[in-house]
């Protein structure tokens, strides 16, 4: 009957939709592999929040949070270093010209991971990674070429941004990586340990749910 | 035939899935209605990034960004003030005990709005809202009751958080609201103008795409 056909269509749609969500490729390392998990989250996500000390007259000296896109490299060459494509007109970049101390956070809310597992954004199992360090313009031509290529691949819209705005590539010189990815409190990861961790993307991404 | 039935099932599922995304209820006010758009984004989203000046020895004096859940009230009584449910053990809260200056950002990436419209997170049309002000514990019993009720409704997991961790409600005393929601640069909105804006949730949410 017609009602049966409608039922089958709706039920099959719901199943395919749910499967699409559950089959999300975001499948991070275990919580005790903190350096790997931080590398994984930084590689997989595409945007985060940058924190600076404000130089804007209305909010002088306040911490100032702002949204920023980034890439740490392609899957075949994830570097762990977030590269940005920014312009001097951006208030965060203006702040960094005066004081290049910065913070940069991503959340596992972004890829839908926490929603699927029913973790609130403030649940420690919905991992948060914050990189603390110094902002640096990319000056090496080969590094700039790498940064541009990976940024434009991950953020195709960037290729269309107006040349007159003088966009340039920049990165974080990492002091520490802070992570909260389970109950029991947060941790600092030394930059050397963060860089040494093998994020094993192909393995983690498709190994099924834990 | 069987192949035709499978085709119809898959095609209908794809259409229903796509419609589910496109029919997203996140439908903000126009970009020139900046105070309304800020109120809308703050009301609709459920998590953001808090920025503080760090008191942690390893990163003393650096800006420190962290993830936080919030609610500004139910649909029937959106206040514009983000309420938080936090504990003293949180490093951001420790920072704020020393210096209560804070920043708090949300992005229209969170509700899927930017993805649907193919706006990169750094595209100005993918609006970013940052509230700058001071952190305050909620001390009034009636305000605390309101904050708890709206937080627990929006973040049901909070009801299960351990009593021994001494969670409490807090809010931002707003100095300024900063918004970037279109080409042409960002704006500051005075707290009074932000609070005066009528976010007209019911109207905006279901008026269809623009």
pLDDT tens per residue across span B146-181:
999 999 999 999 999 998 889 999 999 999 999 999
- Ranges of residues in chain A whose predicted pLDDT is under 50: 19, 21-23, 202, 205-210
Chain A partners within 8 Å of B61 (Cβ): 101
Q: B135 pairs with which residues across the strands?
A: B172
Query: For position B7, what pLDDT does the model report?
Result: 60
HSE toward the beta carbon, residue B171, CA cutoff 13 A: 21
Asked if B180 and B124 touch (Cβ cutoff 8 Å), the reply is yes
Phi, psi of A34 (to 5 degrees): -65, -40
Could you give the residue ranges of the DSSP H alpha helices within chain A?
2-22, 34-44, 91-98, 113-116, 141-154, 191-196, 201-205
Considering Cα of A146, then A150, then A156, then A158, what sign does the dihedral take? Answer: negative
Chain A partners within 8 Å of B122 (Cβ): 47, 67-69, 85, 155, 158
Q: Which chain A residues in 23-42 lie under 8 Å from chain B, judged by CB atoms? A: none
ipTM of the complex: 0.88
List the one residue out of A121, A54, A65 whose CA is nearest residue B104: A65
Residues recorded for chain A: 210
Asked if B51 and A51 touch (Cβ cutoff 8 Å), the reply is yes
CA–CA dist A170, A160 (Å, integer)? 18
Asked if B15 and A15 touch (Cβ cutoff 8 Å), the reply is no
- Which DSSP letter does residue B71 get? B
Asked if B51 and A64 touch (Cβ cutoff 8 Å), the reply is yes
Q: CB–CB of B66 and A105 under 8 A?
A: yes
Query: For position A19, what pLDDT does the model report?
Result: 47
Q: CB–CB of A17 and B12 under 8 A?
A: no
Closest Cβ opposite residue A64 in set B103, B109, B119? B103
Closest Cβ opposite residue B67 in set A54, A67, A107? A107
CA–CA dist A122, B63 (Å, integer)? 20
- Which DSSP letter does residue A120 get? -
List the one residue out of A165, A41, A95, A86 whose CA is nearest residue B121: A86
Asked if B129 and B179 touch (Cβ cutoff 8 Å), the reply is yes
Asked if A78 is an interface residue toward chain B (Cβ–Cβ < 8 A), one would say no
Considering Cα of A37, then A42, then A45, then A47, what sign does the dihedral take? Answer: positive
Say which residues have a Cβ less than 8 Å from residue B103's Cβ, sequence separation at least 6: A51, A54, A59, A62, A63, A64, A65, B50, B51, B52, B130, B131, B132
Superfamily of domain A26-205: Electron Transport, Fmn-binding Protein; Chain A (2.30.110.10)
CA–CA dist A38, B51 (Å, integer)? 20
Query: For position B24, what pLDDT does the model report?
Result: 56
Q: CB–CB of A158 and B13 under 8 A?
A: no
Asked if B87 is an interface residue toward chain A (Cβ–Cβ < 8 A), one would say no
No. of helices (H) and no. of strands (E), chain A: 7, 7
Cα Rg for chain B, rounded, in angstroms? 20
Q: CB–CB of B65 and A46 under 8 A?
A: no
Q: Torsion over CA of A145, A149, A155 and A157, rounded to 10 degrees?
A: 80
Quote the Cα angle for B140-B143-B145, to 5°: 110
Quote the Cα angle for B42-B47-B51, to 5°: 90
- Give the pairing of strands A128-137 and A101-107: antiparallel
Q: A206, exposed or middle or buried, with CB in 10 Å at 0-12, 13-18, 19+?
A: exposed
pLDDT tens for A62-113 read: 999 999 999 999 988 999 999 999 999 999 999 999 999 999 999 999 999 9
- Cα separations in angstroms, A142 against A110, A145, A147, A149, B182: 31, 5, 9, 11, 33
Q: A1, exposed or middle or buried, with CB in 10 Å at 0-12, 13-18, 19+?
A: exposed
CA–CA dist A200, A197 (Å, integer)? 9
Angle between helices B2-22 and A2-22 (to 10 degrees): 60
Q: A55, exposed or middle or buried, with CB in 10 Å at 0-12, 13-18, 19+?
A: middle
Chain B partners within 8 Å of A50 (Cβ): 65
Q: CB–CB of A49 and B105 under 8 A?
A: yes
Query: For position B165, what pLDDT does the model report?
Result: 85
Query: For position A26, what pLDDT does the model report?
Result: 87
- Ranges of residues in chain B whose predicted pLDDT is under 50: 17-19, 21-23, 202, 205-210
As assigned by CATH, the class of the B27-201 domain is: mainly beta
Query: For position A198, what pLDDT does the model report?
Result: 81
Q: CB–CB of B121 and A53 under 8 A?
A: no
């Amino acid at each position: 009957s017609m009602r049966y056909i409608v039922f089958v269509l709706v039920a099959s749609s719901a199943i395919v939709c749910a499967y699409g969500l559950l089959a999300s490729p975001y499948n991070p390392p275990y919580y005790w592999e903190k350096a790997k998990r931080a590398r994984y989250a930084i590689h997989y996500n595409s945007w985060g929040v940058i924190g600076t000390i404000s130089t804007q007259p209305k909010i002088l000296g306040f911490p100032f949070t702002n949204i920023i896109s980034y890439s740490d490299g392609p899957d075949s060459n994830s570097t762990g270093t977030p590269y940005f494509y920014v312009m001097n007109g951006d208030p965060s970049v203006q702040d960094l010209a005066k004081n290049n101390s910065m913070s940069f956070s991503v959340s596992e809310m972004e890829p839908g991971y926490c929603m699927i597992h029913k973790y609130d954004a403030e649940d420690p199992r919905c991992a948060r990674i914050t990189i603390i360090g110094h902002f640096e313009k990319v000056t090496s031509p080969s590094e700039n070429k790498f940064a541009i290529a990976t940024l434009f691949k991950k953020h195709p819209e960037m290729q269309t941004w107006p040349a007159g705005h003088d966009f340039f590539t920049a990165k974080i010189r990492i002091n520490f990586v802070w992570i909260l990815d389970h109950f029991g409190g947060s941790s600092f990861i030394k930059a050397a340990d963060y860089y040494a961790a093998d994020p094993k993307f192909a393995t983690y991404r498709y190994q099924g749910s834990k």
